[in-house]
DNA sequence: ATAATAACGATAATCAATATCAATAAGTTA
DNA sequence: TAACTTATTGATATTGATTATCGTTATTAT
């Protein structure tokens, strides 16, 4: 049977408390402040369990590691090309899915990721570190 | 200065002639039929040059290798969860960008990837090989 | 033709993510 | 509560895609 562990509880709490769409590495760093011996493999495994359970969602980002998001309702994301920050974007995702014509294929989900420059980076010329 | 090479010409021709959104590996396989000693690194480098030049676009696919697409106008894509096939989807992408509210961030581009099951795989239970 | 150097092929390295596996610990069961 | 079963963990090896390195090759201006 499925078992409760301190690792699962901790990882779930970290993602649900985070507003910054953390990567697996970011969750790992936070988790190690509480459980210094936690393994990165455990973080990945538990994150995917949480996604599977519908508690969180995974946000794939082109060319960069996936982000994990406590906001599970359908919504879009914005990635800043300069600082790499990810944030939520208000958009009628259901409307987009309804507007799409995929022929006889059955659309089940959609990833919508906007790219651009956030207001903090606008005017700056720094690349992502 | 930039030089013309048979490798560049070949790779460009392959992608522009392909209707199946090939991966870098797929382009590499096709290219080797003509130039058996071409390097995978060359394929990646030239593909990115073509993207940079606006001749083709790169289609990122979550958890799978990127696809390359001769259709450069803004459009969306559909990925079959079972067979992995990628195809174009008719959608008013400009309309989606206009509808998005990213606050003060400047939206420059958007990746829209639908996921689901294509009509060939519908009813089948085979996973991707 | 020759020189300068962009581009190549071969291969090593990187990065995110997954798989492996012996050791550990959660949740029974006695 | 101790013993037991096995899900889960931590450590580490591996994979897969992509990028970087570097000595050699080949394009193009002179």
Angle, to 10 degrees, between the axis of helix A40-53 and the axis of helix A24-34?
110
By the CB < 8 Å criterion, does A74 face chain B?
no
* CATH placement of domain A6-69: 1.10.10.10
Give the model's confidence band at A124: pLDDT under 50 very low, under 70 low, under 90 confident, else very high. Answer: low
What was the pLDDT predicted at A129?
43
What was the pLDDT predicted at A82?
85
Do A107 and B92 make contact, defined as CB atoms within 8 angstroms?
Answer: no
What phi, psi does B10 have (nearest 5°)? Answer: -65, -50
What was the pLDDT predicted at B123?
65
Bases on strand D under 7 Å from any protein CB: 7-13, 16-21, 26-29
What was the pLDDT predicted at B74?
84
> For A9-18, A119-128, B14-23, which range has the lowest pLDDT when averaged over its residues?
A119-128
Give the model's confidence band at B125: pLDDT under 50 very low, under 70 low, under 90 confident, else very high. Answer: very low
| Residues packed against strand D, CB within 7 Å | A 1-3, 5, 7-8, 35, 37-42, 45-46, 63; B 1, 3-6, 23-25, 40-41, 44, 48, 64-66
Mean pLDDT of A77-82: 93
Question: Which tops the pLDDT comparison, B104 or B33?
Answer: B33
Q: Are B24 and B56 in contact (CB under 8 A)?
A: no
pTM, full prediction: 0.90
Dihedral of the alpha carbons of A13, A14, A19, A21, in degrees to the nearest 10: -120
Give the model's confidence band at B82: pLDDT under 50 very low, under 70 low, under 90 confident, else very high. Answer: confident
Residue whose CA is minimally distant from C17 C1': A44
Residues in Cβ contact with A109 at an 8 Å cutoff, skipping those fewer than 6 apart: B114, B115, B116
Q: Minimal Cα distance from A102: which residue of B?
A: B89
- pLDDT above 70 (res A126): no
Distance A10 CA to C29 C1' (A): 29
- pLDDT above 60 (res B16): yes
By the CB < 8 Å criterion, does A63 face chain B?
yes
CA distance A52 to chain B (A): 16
What was the pLDDT predicted at A15?
98
Distance B78 CA to D24 C1' (A): 43
Mean pLDDT of A103-119: 93
Distance B1 CA to C5 C1' (A): 9
Question: Which tops the pLDDT comparison, B43 or A84?
Answer: B43
Q: Are A111 and A60 in contact (CB under 8 A)?
A: yes
By the CB < 8 Å criterion, does A118 face chain B?
yes
Q: Minimal Cα distance from B99: which residue of A?
A: A91
Give the model's confidence band at B128: pLDDT under 50 very low, under 70 low, under 90 confident, else very high. Answer: very low
Question: Which tops the pLDDT comparison, B103 or A4?
Answer: A4
Q: Are A125 and A80 in contact (CB under 8 A)?
A: no
Please state, in angstroms and rounded to a whole number, the distance separating the CA atoms of residues A41 and A26: 13
Q: Among A90, A91, A84, A69, which residue's Cα sits nearest to residue A116?
A: A84
Helix (H) or strand (E) holding A79: strand A76-80
């Amino acid at each position: 049977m499925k078992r409760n562990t301190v690792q699962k509880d901790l990882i779930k709490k970290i993602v649900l408390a985070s507003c910054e769409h953390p990567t697996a590495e970011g969750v790992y760093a936070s988790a190690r402040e509480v459980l210094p011996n936690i393994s990165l493999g455990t973080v990945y495994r538990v994150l995917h369990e949480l996604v599977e359970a519908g508690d969180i969602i995974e946000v794939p980002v082109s060319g960069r590691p996936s982000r994990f998001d406590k906001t599970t309702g359908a919504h879009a994301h914005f990635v800043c090309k300069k600082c790499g920050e990810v944030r939520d974007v208000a958009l009628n995702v259901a409307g987009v899915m309804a507007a799409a014509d995929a022929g006889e294929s059955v659309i089940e989900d959609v990833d919508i990721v906007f790219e651009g420059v956030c207001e903090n980076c606008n005017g700056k010329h720094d690349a992502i570190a």
